[in-house]
Amino acid sequence: MATKTVLDSPAADHQLPSRGGELKRPPSPALTLVAALLGFALITLDASVVNVALPAIGSALGGGMTGLQWVVDAYTLAFAALMLSTGAFSDRAGASRAYGIGVAVFTVASAACGLAPNLPVLIASRVAQGAAAAVVLPASLALVRQAYADAAKRARAVALWAAGGSVAVALGPVAGGALTTVWDWRGIFFINLPLGAVALALLLRAPRSERRPAPLDLPGQLTAVVTLTALTFAVIEGGTTGAVALGVAVVGAAVFLRIEARHPHPVVPLELFRSRNVSVLVAAGAACSVAFYGVVFLFSLFFQQVQGKSALYAGLMFLPMSGLIAGTNIVAGKLAGRYGARLPMLLGQPLAAAGLLVLLYVDSSTPAGLVALLLVPVALGCALTVPPLTAAMMEAVPAGRAGLAAGVLNSARQVAGGLAIALFGALVGGGFEAGMRWSLVVSAGLLLVTGAATVGLRVRR
């Protein structure tokens, strides 16, 4: 049974005595929501804001395509792998403490990114950013949940929290292009400093969270990090070292599965995947991440390296697809509420796949404005799919495992996005337009497979 806090009792609705005996108002739930939303927006923004700045980073620090892939994937993989355990860490430390630690480390790591004198320092700082982001995500959601005792108000607050993350992801390419052009590529990291400071200042007004015992699966977590890192290294680096890394990844995966099958509290309970619904939903979420993050990565480079546009121009080319994501998320939620999650998923995945296949006809002579419009169906399809998919995942598991299932789903999506960038970067390294087309075919194929699997879903409205 969860420990009761002052927010769980009727007294939370009244004034509270201070140390001096006078009455004062309890912390505002709205301030807690803003603090949590700001931190969540920061970490989701950094998943996409870097893409448009990659050519400028490569020009300043060198490293070629391989180095640029690691700038993106260092963040994504640390985020994805460590998120398997950070929910438990948030419970053990208390959500407010964990959130404060996460935002503070993320802010310091952002400063290190902005000051990085070379590519290895930048990549190491991105790893620190990703590790901090993995702590911030579950802690920020826990803060929102504890701030609202009323279930209806809590549901609206969580919806606002989720919408804030969607808007941040959507605006990432635009913000990255604007900051790189008006300031410098380092500006995409320095902008996190004042925003992180504001989030920490607001956290001071939030109630302190109580600590709760939560088991940790350290062997499983460590093995997951080694396996995912080795797999990504194999895809990015290739050659003899890539083959060795692939061997390490295969052995690591086998050890991970053995640990998870025997550990009393595994980070990834394998029995979850005995449910066909869970397996399909995780696969569909991963396919959407491959499509969305892959397209942003590819076309950020396409606009600048193939068509010779500026970073600002490239960022603005993502504005049509970005501007529609938040609204489409809302529509998807309403469709799922009325017809169930399967319908918007069946609409969204084929739409995104069709958008990807249309992009096969894009080449260096295609007007940039037309390319910007052709990107819209991919974004709309993913935006129609992900919110109902997430809700269906929560319904597919017992209530007591909802948080763990959410962590598995989000980790799978982040891993898929990171591996997509690793693979697509390797493909375009051998010839940009040919590699881009192969990448689009892979993305579309995955969505068509998961779309077909979605037909058999059995989900409640």
Q: How many CB atoms lie within 10 A of CB 334?
A: 12
pLDDT of residue 341: 84
pLDDT of residue 194: 93
Whether residues 257 and 281 fall in one domain: no
Burial 126-150 (b: 16+ CB within 10 A, else e): bbbbbbbbbbbbbbbbbbbbbbbbe
> Can you read off the two tokens belonging to residue 224?
């997951």
Whether residues 167 and 249 fall in one domain: no
Whether residues 293 and 245 fall in one domain: no
d(CA 97, CA 131): 16
Q: Which residue has the tokens 């309890």?
A: 26
In a domain, residue 4? The reply is: no
Please state which of the ranges 136-145, 154-163, 218-227 shows the lowest mean pLDDT: 154-163
DSSP states along 327-366: HHHHHHHHHHHHH-SHHHHHHHHHHHHHHHHHGGG--TTS
pLDDT of residue 214: 66
In a domain, residue 6? The reply is: no
> Which whole number is the average pLDDT over 314-319?
90
> Can you read off the two tokens belonging to residue 114?
């902005």
Q: What is the pLDDT of residues 262-287, one digit of tens each?
A: 888 888 888 888 888 889 999 999 99
d(CA 243, CA 254): 17
Whether residues 243 and 288 fall in one domain: no
Closest CA to 36 of 124, 165, 150, 127: 165
Whether residues 138 and 286 fall in one domain: no
Where a domain ends, among 154, 179, 203? Answer: 203
For residue 20, what pLDDT band results from cuts at 50, 70 and 90? very low
Asked if 121 and 109 count as a contact pair (C-beta separation under 8 A), the reply is no
Residue 11 has pLDDT above 80, yes or no: no
CATH number of the domain residue 92 falls in: 1.20.1250.20
User: Average per-residue pLDDT in the chain?
Assistant: 84
Whether residues 388 and 306 fall in one domain: yes
pLDDT of residue 84: 81
Whether residues 63 and 128 fall in one domain: yes
Radius of gyration of the chain (CA): 22
Q: What is the pLDDT of residues 88-127, one digit of tens each?
A: 777 777 888 889 999 999 999 999 999 999 999 999 999 9
Whether residues 155 and 116 fall in one domain: yes
Query: Which has more pLDDT, 304 or 430?
Result: 304
Whether residues 404 and 355 fall in one domain: yes
- Helix, strand, coil proportions of the chain in percent (round to 5)? 80, 0, 20
Residue 14 has pLDDT above 70, yes or no: no
In a domain, residue 119? The reply is: yes
Q: Report which DSSP code applies to 23.
A: E
Closest CA to 147 of 96, 86, 223: 96
pLDDT of residue 340: 83
> Can you read off the two tokens belonging to residue 290?
């491959």
* Tally of domains within the chain: 3
Vertex 382: Cα angle to 373 and 391 (nearest 5): 150
Helices (H), 375-401: 376-395
d(CA 25, CA 30): 13
Whether residues 225 and 316 fall in one domain: no
Please give the distance of CA 38 from its chain centroid, rounded to a whole number. Answer: 15
Please give the distance of CA 70 from its chain centroid, rounded to a whole number. Answer: 16
Q: Which residues contact 305 (CB under 8 A, 6 or more apart)?
A: 55, 432
In a domain, residue 356? The reply is: yes
For residue 403, what pLDDT band results from cuts at 50, 70 and 90? low
Closest CA to 415 of 64, 164, 83, 103: 83
pLDDT of residue 67: 87
In this structure, which amino acid lies at residue 168?
A
Q: Which residues contact 358 (CB under 8 A, 6 or more apart)?
A: 374, 377
In a domain, residue 168? The reply is: yes
Q: What is the pLDDT of residues 351-385, one digit of tens each?
A: 999 999 999 999 999 999 999 999 999 999 998 99
What is the rounded end-to-end Cα distance, in angstroms, of the chain?
Answer: 28
Domain that holds residue 293: 272-461
Whether residues 259 and 369 fall in one domain: no
pLDDT of residue 304: 92
E strand or H helix at 114: helix 95-115
Strands 16-17 and 23-24: antiparallel
Whether residues 433 and 296 fall in one domain: yes
pTM for the structure as a whole: 0.82
In a domain, residue 444? The reply is: yes
pLDDT of residue 27: 62
Beta bridge partners of 23: 17
In a domain, residue 144? The reply is: yes
For residue 71, what pLDDT band results from cuts at 50, 70 and 90? very high
Beta bridge partners of 16: 24
In a domain, residue 47? The reply is: yes
Closest CA to 225 of 247, 248, 241, 258: 248
